[in-house]
Structure 1
């Protein structure tokens, strides 16, 4: 059998247990504060990140993994005897990681397949799980890649930013939208659409924003099956748990789990963001 290495980035924010169990190789995205860059989960914990985010006067930015680090990973995989790598990366419209991956593998002289997930977070984990399942069944790398890519358009993620100031500073939300949000308690619902985050709803109050997201879930349920939904958040476990309990009453046939978002997302949407993510069945 072909020996496959599995690669992703911290946009998926896999748990340490998941990484160890499946031997996933994770490239860290960078969070750049005024004093320098920090590799997510390596140089800075999420607790430390949010402490710095609250204290900083200069909004942090983010960047893709260091290219040299990317090349070194593929060189290491080659030395370890892997035949090929399948890399699942954060949306190429949001990060340059997916476009850098083939160049890094080529420079290392290693065969790889790069999948642009067109999203981030929970769906990336489901794509990996699908890949592991197909690998156990003896599927070829090409067959595995085709099956995973079929999940991309069926993956959905919507969230309610906790802080439009961060999105405004990053250039993703206008000053007018931020002003109206603060004045009128306007909440935005942002969803991934073909790899790009777009504002899909503007509503008064968080309750209506949550309803707008569950309406999207209801729509998905009319089109196909959804057996599991992730309640996603940025350092807001309490809020995620409360929403999960509400959802379990309304959707008794769905398994709800809680998943934290990457600190790179937290830098943009603010601490306290909540949302939902799922992958529709065929």
Structure 2
């Protein structure tokens, strides 16, 4: 059996048990505040990030792993006897990480298969989990890569910012839009389409925004199978748990977990954001 490494980035938000079980190597995304650059999960915890974000007068920036980091990792894996690696990264519509992985793979002597997840968060976790199972069953790498690309095309992530304040600070909406949104309780539903984030809905009240996301889930469940859903959030575990309970009341047999979004999402969407993600089969 071939020795296979998985490579991803902190957009996936993997826990240590998952990393150890599936032999995953995580390249950190970075956040740049006025006082310097911080690598996610290494230099900065989730709570520390949001503490700094509240005090920041200028919105921080995000940064991808450098090509040198990738090449060093590839060399390390080769020296440790791995036959090849699958590099699954945050959507190329949001970050240059996937493109950098492609460039690094072309330079390195070590065989790497870069895959654009077209998304972030929980669906990335399911792709690695599924790929690991396929390899353990003896599938060839080409078949596994094809399956993961199919999963990427059938993954969903929508989120609802708590307010438009951070979107305004990061330059995504105007000050007038942010002000009117707060006054009129207007909520945005932002979703991934073809690897890019787009505004799907603009509605009055959080209840209507959540129902819009739920309608997309219901449609996928009616068309096929959605065995598992993640409630995602940006430092808003209480509302995420509440949404989880709502899901379980409507779908008692559904497997639901609560997952923090990468702080790089928090840079743009802001603290308090909640959403849902899943893979449709």
Extract unaligned runs of 5+ from structure 1. none
How far apart are residue 139 of structure 1 and its match? Answer: 1.1
How far apart are residue 162 of structure 1 and its match? Answer: 1.9
How far apart are residue 92 of structure 1 and its match? Answer: 0.3
Q: Does the 8 Å CA contact 1:226/1:278 hold for their aligned counterparts?
A: yes
Q: Does the 8 Å CA contact 2:163/2:181 hold for their aligned counterparts?
A: no
CA deviation profile, 1:124-154 (whole Å, cap 9, x unmatched): 0000011000110111111110111110111
Q: Does the 8 Å CA contact 1:72/1:108 hold for their aligned counterparts?
A: no
Instruction: Give the aligned partner of residue 105 of structure 1.
Output: 105
Query: What SS does the corresponding residue of 1:20 show, helix, strand or coil?
Result: helix
Which structure 2 residues correspond to residues 222-233 of structure 1 after superposition, within 5 A?
222-233=222-233
Structure 1 runs (4+) deviating above 2 angstroms are 105-108, 168-177
How far apart are residue 227 of structure 1 and its match? Answer: 1.1
Instruction: Give the aligned partner of residue 96 of structure 1.
Output: 96
CA deviation profile, 1:40-85 (whole Å, cap 9, x unmatched): 0011111111111111111101010122111111111111111111
Extract unaligned runs of 5+ from structure 2. none
Measured on the aligned residues, the alpha-carbon RMSD in Å equals: 1.2
Instruction: Give the aligned partner of residue 51 of structure 2.
Output: 51
Q: Does the 8 Å CA contact 1:29/1:39 hold for their aligned counterparts?
A: yes
How far apart are residue 183 of structure 1 and its match? Answer: 1.9
How far apart are residue 263 of structure 1 and its match? Answer: 0.6
- Distance in structure 1 (CA, Å) of the matches to 2:187 and 2:35: 32
* Aligned length, in residue pairs: 281
Q: Does the 8 Å CA contact 2:160/2:189 hold for their aligned counterparts?
A: yes
TM-score by length of 2: 0.97
Q: Does the 8 Å CA contact 1:192/1:198 hold for their aligned counterparts?
A: yes
Instruction: Give the aligned partner of residue 33 of structure 2.
Output: 33
Which structure 2 residues correspond to residues 210-225 of structure 1 after superposition, within 5 A?
210-225=210-225
How far apart are residue 211 of structure 1 and its match? Answer: 0.9
196-205 vs 104-113, which moves further: 104-113
- Distance in structure 2 (CA, Å) of the matches to 1:37 and 1:262: 16
Which structure 2 residues correspond to residues 24-173 of structure 1 after superposition, within 5 A?
24-173=24-173
Query: What SS does the corresponding residue of 1:171 show, helix, strand or coil?
Result: coil
